[in-house]
Amino acid sequence: MKKPLLSLMNINKYYGDFQALKDISFDIYQGEFLTLLGPSGCGKTTLLRCIAGLEEINSGDILLNGQSIKDLAPNKRNINTVFQNYALFPHLNVYDNIAYGPRVKKSMTEEQLKIEVQRVLELVQMIDYEKRMPDQLSGGQRQRIAIARALINQPAILLLDEPLGALDLKLRKHMQTELSQLQKKTGTTFVYVTHDQDEALNMSDRIIVIDQGVIQQLGSPREIYNNPKNLFVTEFIGDRNILEVEVLETGTDATKVKLGQNELTVTNSVESDKIQAGGLGILAVHKDKMQVSCDPQPNSIKAEVVSVHYAGSQIRIDVQVADLSLTVVEYRTACPCKEGDQVYLTWIDGGAILLPLEGQVNQEERGLA
């Protein structure tokens, strides 16, 4: 059994009456890239700030290498943060910004410091920028300096709070690659906060999906993407059609469900064993894993085409089944359908998952809250 680097144990955090974090527990292991993913206001940044020591927790404990750090001030924790807006010191140049940590901690001589600053500048590919002031740098460059400034302290964990949020799309893609490479090169444990599912899926070893201050699911990108555990994760990750179905018959390999007039057999997914016959379930199918056929197909959904949109390489077809709307994204269509046509929808194997409806109840509660 691997020993965790950082353990969060039953963390609760309140702002007045509002509970920002509810009983959060998980472990972080040495060298991993862990992402906290969730919509804005879900508590992911609060959680990060609790780990950094910038917020106090109301109950629970945080262990770093087995030692409780919950009562330590941020400067006493061997954890550093890269802030969303970089938070470079505007009155100090790049060199002095990076040298700030070792200088206030008096952990290095000026000669050592010179070597170390060079080392981290090389890591982030910003050599020769030492004398620049922060306002003479572009967003991406500031980002790198902020990372270098944190890395010089050789933290046990580097926390990154939506570090790519302020960059444009192209630079963001580039920095994603660069950050992953940097993480592998330094072997530093990264805890990364984002609301962008692509970023999370691309970069992480593990993802924790958070909503309403509660961990919704924890797993590898593949697990999260292919087998979302509940309705929230299903809706938040990936682009799916989410359909409420009647459950006719459960089985070990597949479940029979009814959608409108269509009877369908769905291969069981991870959560399907929680489904009961006679009840309701959620059928979720990736929009780009569905196919439209003009002729009747086995195990298909009969639908009416509402509209067809051509979007360059892909074709988006909006259809209607009973009173439900679906969207199918195809890259080349076998069926040149048009508005009002009858079509038959199938999905590629493994494209659909079946969930119990209990998530729906939570969803309604969320709506009321």
Partner 1 sequence: MKSKTNRFGIFYLSLFFVILYLPILSVVLYSFNASPSTAKWTGFTLDWYRQLFRDRVIGEAFAISIQVAILTAIFSAVLGTAAAMVSLMVTTKMKQTIQRMMLLPLLVPEVALGVSLLIFFNALKLPFGHLTLVLSHSLFCVPYVYIMVLLRLQEIDRSIIESARDLGATKWQAFYTIILPLIMPSIVTSSLLAIAMSLDDVVISTYMSGPTSTTLPVHIFSMMRVGVTPKVNALCTLILVGTFFIIGLNQYISKISKNRGLSK
x/- mask, partner 1, residues 103-122, rule CB under 8 A, reads -xx-x---------------
Q: Which runs of E-coded beta strand occur in 65-150?
A: 67-68, 79-82
Tell me the closest approach of the beta carbon of residue 145 to partner 1, in angstroms: 12
150 binding partner 1? (CB under 8 A): yes
**Could you tell me the smallest distance in angstroms from the CB atom of residue 139 to partner 1?**
11
C-beta closer to partner 1: residue 73 or 169: 73
Cα separation of 155 and 255, whole Å?
Answer: 50
Strands (E), the chain: 6-15, 18-28, 33-37, 59-64, 67-68, 79-82, 157-161, 189-194, 206-211, 214-219, 240-249, 254-259, 262-267, 280-286, 290-293, 301-311, 314-321, 324-330, 342-347, 352-356
Q: Where on the phi/psi map is residue 125: left (φ > 0), alpha (ψ -120 to 50), or beta? A: left
- By CB under 8 A, residue 15 contacts partner 1: no
Question: Counting contacts by CB under 8 A, is residue 149 touching partner 1?
Answer: yes
Among 9, 54, 270, 306, binds partner 1 (CB under 8 A): 54
CB of 298 to partner 1, least distance (A): 58
- Binding to partner 1 (CB under 8 A) within 77-96 occurs at 79-81, 83-85, 87-91
* Residue 16 touching partner 1 (CB under 8 A): no
Q: Which is nearer to partner 1, 165 or 260 (CB)?
A: 165
User: Quick one: tokens of 134?
Assistant: 């922060």
Cα angle, residue 282 at apex, residues 279 and 284 outer, rounded to 5°: 155
Q: Which helix (H) or strand (E) holds 87?
A: none
Dihedral angle, C-alpha 34, 39, 45, 46, nearest 10 ° = -120
Report the residue number, 134 or 351, with the smaller CB distance to partner 1.
Answer: 134
Q: How far is the CB of 147 from partner 1 (least distance, A)?
A: 12
CB-nearer residue toward partner 1: 29 or 100: 100
Q: CA 193 to CA 128: how far, in whole Å?
A: 30
Any contact of residue 163 with partner 1 (CB under 8 A)? Answer: no
368 binds partner 1 (CB under 8 A): no
Residue 81 or 230 having the CB closest to partner 1: 81
Nearest CB to partner 1, comparing residues 110 and 135:
135
For partner 1, the closer of residues 142 and 287 by Cβ is 142
- Distance between CA 3 and CA 22 in Å, rounded? 24
CA distances, 208 to each of 116, 216, 271, 321 (Å): 33, 7, 18, 34
124 binds partner 1 per the rule CB under 8 A: no
- Binding-site size for partner 1 (CB under 8 A) equals 29
Binding-site ranges for partner 1 (CB under 8 A): 52-54, 73-75, 79-81, 83-85, 87-91, 100-102, 104-105, 107, 133-135, 149-150, 153
